[in-house]
Amino acid sequence: MIGAHAGFEGAARLARIEADEALAQRIERDGIDWFADHWRSLPIFDGLARRRPDLWESLDAARRAQDPRRLAAALRGMGGAAGEPFWERLSGIEVPTLVIAGAEDHPYLEHARRLAGLIPTSRAEVVPESGHAAHLENPAAVAALVAAHLSRR
């Protein structure tokens, strides 16, 4: 998994649900161009914009082509806190698991360490020169990690 967590908990989950609902309402009210501009301004994606401006522009164009009502619905149904946290179930995973986070993606570095600590046959790896979109910012490093993981027995 890349840039993942097993759910927000407690007050952080409630705050995220409220923030996602407010964002969904704003998307419905102000439209897709407002949202695309807002998304471009989020610090979590600075690395992608800086390292892959060509891809960043392509993703922005695709984002602007979305239907705002559907995007708002997706945010409500699949946002970061929409599902119940499942941290306590991770110890039941029995397959070798690779947990990846970008070196500049500090919140998800912590999540990766926590995930790897709870999944018995896992390990966390950090991708240099990357943020939240490590697979897009440094695809060669991510591919090497995945290939090494898949070649292990």
The one-digit pLDDT tens for each residue of the chain (153 residues) are: 999 999 999 999 999 999 999 999 999 999 999 999 999 999 998 999 999 999 999 999 999 999 999 999 999 999 989 999 999 999 999 999 999 999 999 999 999 999 999 999 999 999 999 999 999 999 999 999 999 999 986
pLDDT at residue 146, rounded to an integer: 98
Closest CA to 107 of 80, 72, 69, 71: 80
Distances (CA, A) of 69 to 8, 64, 73, 78, 127: 25, 13, 6, 14, 35
pLDDT at residue 37, rounded to an integer: 97
H or E stretch at 14? helix 10-40
User: What is the reported pTM?
Assistant: 0.88
Closest CA to 131 of 75, 49, 63: 49
pLDDT at residue 57, rounded to an integer: 94
pLDDT at residue 87, rounded to an integer: 97
Give the pLDDT confidence of 61-82 residue by residue, as tens digits: 999 999 999 999 999 999 989 9
Q: Write out the two tokens for 102.
A: 């970008």
d(CA 134, CA 130): 5
Q: What are phi and psi of 133, to 5 degrees?
A: -100, 55
